[in-house]
Chain A
């Protein structure tokens, strides 16, 4: 709760700080707020006490996992605010809105991790989504950005509608919005009521849309491609973390028992397989960098969803999910920071050619990030993938084998980008200069990608 309030308040402050037309003030206040939130969360994780305990509303519960996921959200938001800074300097007028919206969106994400009540979840979802609709279109000079915004808004609001529709069915079957009570009601049922089943399917569809898995993935390449890079990074990391954890919480707690689990499990397995192949095979032929990332992120969604059907304990799967999404977030932040620094207007993969000459540090970060996305040791991406697959092996070993085949396919396109980075450019290009803030963010991301797996035993 403390962190939530701090992030929200610093969002407000940075919004008002925009009147000064000084980007550093806006970014500084946002970053200070996020840092404070991170410290507060770590403190609360260690002591178990919160300052604003008396404010606890029963729709929100910041338990261990909610805190851990909020921590991931704050850290990644902090990094994303940091990498966007160079762009704000070019356009100081809109910095306040942009950073403010980012912070509000992060607030929504934190609510989505801590909800215990469907109603609260819906609020969180909207607080998360509406700023993103705006941010995706924030690059007004670019037609594709406007297209991205409109597309995301239309399909996103449609998905929200479907969620509400599904929620209505679930409410009809159980008569409550609270997760714990829904759990009890579902457990008491002798036979599955068709009303509940329809509701669950509709809710699942809206979640599948939000995380961007096939067959509801069509928005994501266009939106990722069109949105400004920092927003793409935010969508691929923070939004996914929140959506996945909310998804897991709802489906593992409320709908994760007995026949109901078996009922949606099969549907999800089919979607996982489609997602993996669609994401990978489409990524093979991409020439644009952010589009490639969009398809690769679809594939990663497929890997992550394996956790949902693998019948491991809720605590384990939340822990695995946290680890996977956090390390994935580091790689995404690293690679997006590279894309921003290279600043190729056409955003081609070939634009990365000769990066090693233009800025060796950037090239190293990019290569490590791509290795981490591909899951090659010793990056944290590998350990994350390993943890995920080993969790799923017992109940769904053939699904793991399909996933491994897909990681083999994915090597091709990641490797293609890596070798492009390592190849010399056709003509001499100017060197890229990095600001200290970008260097700091890149270093954190690099440390995260290489050493994150070593932090984990400490947290246990």
Chain B
């Protein structure tokens, strides 16, 4: 059953190449829904006790094992991936891109890589899938991105690849002391805290580039703006969650000794990123850039909360991971909707669409509220729990990170106001197409449902988080 998680994306990625052009849209959506079905079936099957349920576990060559499995955290990430991919495909419905076989195939390859990252219980396979995701996203952006994308994408690829090599070095460094790459074997290795710090730093470097944490973020705004909309959604919606997941699953459990030396620097960097991203977002003229920096700010907060390594903060960050995935996809779709109709994203040239497209104005406003985490949206629960953890950790850090709520309102509503209100700038502005409406509605409904009843997420991941925390509390006495 769980093997279908691998088989289906590969099958659809290859078979979509021979589907006739007019069928590609439907085929892509059918394929992604099939994957979603498999993920849901896996969730049903999973008895929610928090342990890792392996569906493949056998030795392979040179200490690499074929170990794949999932626990609550993995399943939540899988679900996020499986929900967002069809949403991304549907939101792309009106683009010519949706007819492109190569594009749809690459999306499925991307999904394969993401699924692999979330179910790998072997260090090397984690690395392998981690790298696999890079190739389709690079090709999507390279083939279908904005005209002046090349330099930005080269930077993106090299940046992330260098980061990943640091992780590979750390993985090899830990493996030489362990019998195999299986996660439990790796966890069993005990280091002196100095070695552990260096090795954990290798992991952190890879994750910091992908999240991105200040000052490793310079690739991010350019890549986001130059990628096609679907590429940006994949990047911000799911791909950077790989790094957050990696911190919870790999970096901290493997090197509990290193938490002491890394905790402060990482939290400080992440908090700087929170404020820095938000302040820069306020000044941006390009609407996509506003949300690119906003994404950096939001994710910085999640990274900081994970490093606090406190139970509430962790479950808050899980909620926020889901929330951010949904909202980011929605916001980039909103930008795309405006760009499709007007041909520009420059805030100075926009305005007055609220009158012409009331439906769009409503759903976009709902998204903006979700993005600034008003109560009753899932962002509120997530940010509240995370900030609570940060304040408990250190009052000043908590307060500084808390400014994200205020600054977030400033840049989101500035972007909303400049684009939707003010004098009418275009003669006509068509209201939402059904495909756009479906995506926005699903996102908003999900965000609100999770905001009212966050236990849907927390009940599911908490047992697993407890186990992750328990295994850790022994050696370093956190």
Contact = CB atoms under 8 A, between A and B. Distances in A.
A400 interface: yes
Contacts of A419: 142, 150, 153-154
A456 interface: yes
A389 B127 contact: no
Contacts of B62: 386-387, 390
Interface stretch (B158-166, B235-243, B294-302): B158-166
Contacts of B162: 408, 411
Contacts of B168: 386, 389, 404
A460 B166 CA distance: 30
A377 B131 contact: yes
A298 to B, nearest CB: 20
B61 interface: yes
Nearest to A387: B62
Given A371-B135, A411-B158, A390 B143 contact: no
Contacts of A407: 165
Given A390-B62, A457-B60, A408 B158 contact: yes
B131 A376 contact: yes
Contacts of A390: 62-63, 172, 175-176
A453 B62 CA distance: 11
Interface string B59-77: 0111100000000000000
A405 B166 CA distance: 9
Interface string B304-341: 00000000000000000000000000000000000000
A422 interface: yes
Given A415-B157, A419-B142, A419-B150, A404 B61 contact: no
B158 A393 contact: no
B446 interface: no
B128 A401 contact: no
A111 B132 CA distance: 40
A180 B323 CA distance: 68
Contacts of B153: 419
Contacts of B37: none
B177 to A, nearest CB: 9
Given A389-B172, A408-B165, A422 B143 contact: yes
A405 B163 CA distance: 11
Contact of A422 (B129, B142, B154, B173): B142
Interface string A359-381: 00000000000010000111000
Interface string A382-402: 100011011001100100110
Interface residues on A, range: 20 to 34
Contact of B61 (A415, A422, A456): A456
B169 interface: yes
Given A404-B165, A415-B157, A422 B172 contact: no
Contacts of B129: 377
Which of A390, A401, A412 gathers the greatest number of chain B CB atoms within 10 Å? A390
B165 A386 contact: no
Given A422-B142, A460-B61, A415 B131 contact: no
B444 to A, nearest CB: 37
Main secondary structure of the interface of A (DSSP, over half): helix
A376 B162 CA distance: 12
Contacts of A378: 128, 132
A63 B432 CA distance: 72
A453 B61 CA distance: 9
A390 B177 CA distance: 11
Interface in A437-460: 453, 456-457, 460
B329 to A, nearest CB: 26
Contacts of B135: 371, 376
Contact of A457 (B61, B143, B157): B61
A386 B142 contact: no
B85 to A, nearest CB: 20
A412 B158 contact: yes
B128 A411 contact: no
Nearest to A376: B131
B183 interface: no
Q: In the complex, which of the residues B128, B169, B172, B175 has the most CB atoms of chain A within 10 Å of its own CB atom?
A: B172
B169 A400 contact: yes
Contacts of A422: 139, 142-143
A319 to B, nearest CB: 9
B131 A386 contact: no
A369 B422 CA distance: 55
Interface string A406-424: 0110011001000100100
B53 to A, nearest CB: 24
B60 A415 contact: no
B124 interface: yes
A291 B22 CA distance: 44
A394 B60 CA distance: 21
Q: Which 9 A-B residue pairs are closest in the complex by CB-CB distance?
A: A377-B128, A408-B162, A377-B131, A457-B61, A390-B172, A404-B165, A393-B172, A456-B61, A393-B176
26 contacts: A376-B134, A376-B161, A377-B128, A377-B131, A377-B132, A378-B132, A382-B128, A387-B62, A389-B168, A390-B63, A390-B175, A390-B176, A400-B172, A404-B169, A408-B158, A408-B161, A408-B162, A411-B158, A415-B157, A415-B158, A422-B139, A422-B142, A422-B143, A456-B61, A457-B61, A460-B61
Given A376-B135, A415-B154, 20 more contacts: A376-B134, A377-B129, A377-B132, A378-B128, A389-B172, A390-B63, A390-B172, A394-B176, A401-B169, A404-B168, A404-B169, A408-B161, A411-B158, A412-B158, A415-B157, A419-B153, A419-B154, A422-B139, A422-B142, A456-B61
